[in-house]
């Protein structure tokens, strides 16, 4: 089936966080949610459930686990066992429970800024301290400072590392070599790796996602991987994620916390949606990635021709594009206010991802091309005007 990603879907007044939080005349290009309909097999599966008219307490049947296992085998060359899989309604709640299960008050948790902003709050809300291993910007792409990582990981108070792979917002798809270096440092210093791989299916041509835990037995046992069909298939509202926890001791600890917090049963629709997505969603995903590739190219060309003061950071995965606006001489807060007030476009303010996000914005390009063109045209005048004032 040929999908039409150009279709404009009216999302205002649908209880949609992306479209209904801001003013009516502001074009939202912020939160990580796509303005596309999901794959037809998922819609059909949901319709089937809806038509039954019965929405009672629900369990995870074997076909649910088979669908997850099949997906990871086919797409990521990683063979999972059913026992390893632990359900949670979302990756962010999962991160919070994982931290609670594996730290004591005052422990430290590593992250790599600029990074997805809930990483900070899941650490501090659980009584731990953030330890930052800032990423280094080298020729419009980000690299890991391994010396700094080793230094920080060697602090005995550091118990966990939140690894964002692929990385939101800098768009890196970490290479096998990089992941091996991270894994070896963490193993050496007894730091447990929490690999948030929610963006693992959104990879551009020429790159490949390597599941951290798939690299070797040591990494498999020293990691918890967070996965979900939500970014891949635009299902965030269904609240379903699955954690890969091969280490029995870690799994028992995590399950205890989930039981204590009464996290167990899934949303009735999420089960059917996940099964359809992972079993029949590949055709849609292939077409989605082609469309996103086109949007990314359009953005890069447009910025290069019309707003050369801005630098689009090299994107290897995700539909979230990190743009360096520091040449405009404005803080990201000032810039975002200007963009919302004058250009009527809402991007994510780079400073919320960490101090080194100051002067950057994050642009969500998962929308019909017409909206992307509209958004870029709206900001063009404001950026050009501002740049000539500097």
Ligand X SMILES: Cc1ncc(COP(=O)(O)O)c(C=O)c1O
- Tell me which residues touch ligand X (CB under 6 A): 32, 90-92, 116, 164, 168, 196, 198, 228, 230, 236, 241
Q: How far is the CB of 387 from ligand X (least distance, A)?
A: 30
Q: Residue 321: how many CB atoms within 10 A of its CB? A: 24
Q: What is the CA radius of gyration of the chain?
A: 21
Instruction: Output 198 or 365, the one with its CB closest to ligand X.
Output: 198
Number of helices (H), then strands (E), belonging to the chain: the values are: 14, 15
For residue 278, which of 242, 245, 244 has the smallest C-alpha distance? 242
Residue 148, both tokens: 């700094």
Residue number, 22 or 118, with CB nearest to ligand X:
118
How far apart are CB 201 and ligand X at their closest, in Å? 13
Nearest to ligand X of 159, 167 (CB atom): 167
- Minimum Å distance from CB 115 to ligand X? 8
Nearest-approach distance from CB 152 to ligand X, in angstroms: 20
Comparison of 162 and 185: residue with beta carbon closer to ligand X: 162
**Nearest Cα to Cα of residue 301 among 358, 372, 351, 361:** 372
Q: Which C-beta is closer to ligand X: that of 228 or that of 312?
A: 228
Q: How far is the CB of 193 from ligand X (least distance, A)?
A: 15
Q: Return the number of the residue (128 or 328) whose C-beta is nearest ligand X.
A: 128
Residue 225 pairs in a beta bridge with 195, 244
State the nearest-atom distance from the C-beta of 116 to ligand X, in Å.
4
Distance separating alpha carbons of residues 135 and 133, to the nearest angstrom: 6
Residue 141, classed as helix, strand or coil, is strand
Chain residue whose CB lies nearest ligand X: 90
Q: How far is residue 92's CA from residue 95's CA, in Å, rounded to a whole number?
A: 5
CA nearest neighbour of 174 among 191, 193, 150, 188: 193
Angle CA(216)–CA(170)–CA(191) in degrees, nearest 5? 35
What are the E-state strand segments in 141-184? 141-143, 158-164
In the complex with ligand X, the residue whose CB is nearer, 362 or 378, is 362
Closest approach of ligand X to the CB of residue 279, in Å: 20
């Amino acid at each position: 089936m040929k999908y039409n990603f150009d279709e404009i879907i009216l999302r205002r007044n649908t209880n949609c966080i992306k479209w209904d939080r801001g003013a009516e005349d502001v074009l939202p290009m912020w939160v990580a949610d796509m303005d596309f309909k999901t794959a037809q097999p998922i819609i059909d599966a949901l319709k089937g459930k809806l038509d039954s008219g019965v929405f009672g307490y629900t369990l995870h049947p074997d076909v649910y686990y088979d669908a997850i296992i099949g997906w990871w085998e086919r797409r990521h060359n990683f063979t999972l066992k059913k026992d390893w899989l632990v359900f949670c309604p979302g990756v962010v709640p999962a991160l919070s429970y994982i931290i609670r299960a594996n730290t004591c008050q005052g422990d430290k948790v590593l992250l790599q800024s600029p990074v997805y902003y809930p990483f900070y709050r899941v650490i501090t809300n659980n009584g731990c301290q953030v330890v930052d291993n800032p990423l280094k910007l080298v020729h419009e792409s980000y690299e890991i400072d391994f010396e700094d990582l080793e230094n920080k990981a060697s602090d005995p108070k550091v118990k966990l590392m939140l690894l964002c792979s692929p990385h939101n917002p800098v768009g890196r798809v970490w290479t096998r070599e990089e992941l091996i270096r991270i894994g070896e440092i963490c193993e050496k210093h007894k730091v447990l790796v929490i690999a948030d791989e929610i963006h693992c299916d959104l990879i551009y041509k020429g790159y490949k996602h390597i599941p951290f835990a798939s690299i070797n037995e040591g990494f498999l046992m020293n990691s918890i991987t967070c996965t979900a069909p939500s970014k891949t298939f635009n299902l965030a509202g269904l609240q379903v994620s699955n954690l890969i926890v091969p280490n029995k001791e870690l799994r028992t600890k995590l399950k205890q916390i989930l039981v204590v917090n009464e996290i167990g049963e899934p949303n009735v629709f999420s089960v059917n949606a996940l099964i359809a997505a992972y079993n029949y969603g590949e055709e849609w995903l292939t077409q989605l990635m082609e469309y996103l590739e086109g949007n990314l190219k359009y953005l890069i060309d447009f910025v290069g021709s019309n707003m050369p003061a801005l630098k689009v950071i090299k994107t290897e995965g995700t539909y979230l594009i990190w743009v360096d606006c520091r040449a405009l001489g404005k803080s990201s807060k000032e810039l975002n206010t200007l963009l919302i007030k004058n250009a009527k476009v809402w991007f994510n303010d780079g400073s919320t991802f960490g101090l080194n996000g100051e002067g950057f914005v994050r642009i969500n390009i998962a929308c019909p091309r017409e909206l992307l063109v509209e958004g870029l045209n709206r900001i063009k005048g404001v950026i050009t005007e501002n740049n000539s004032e500097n």
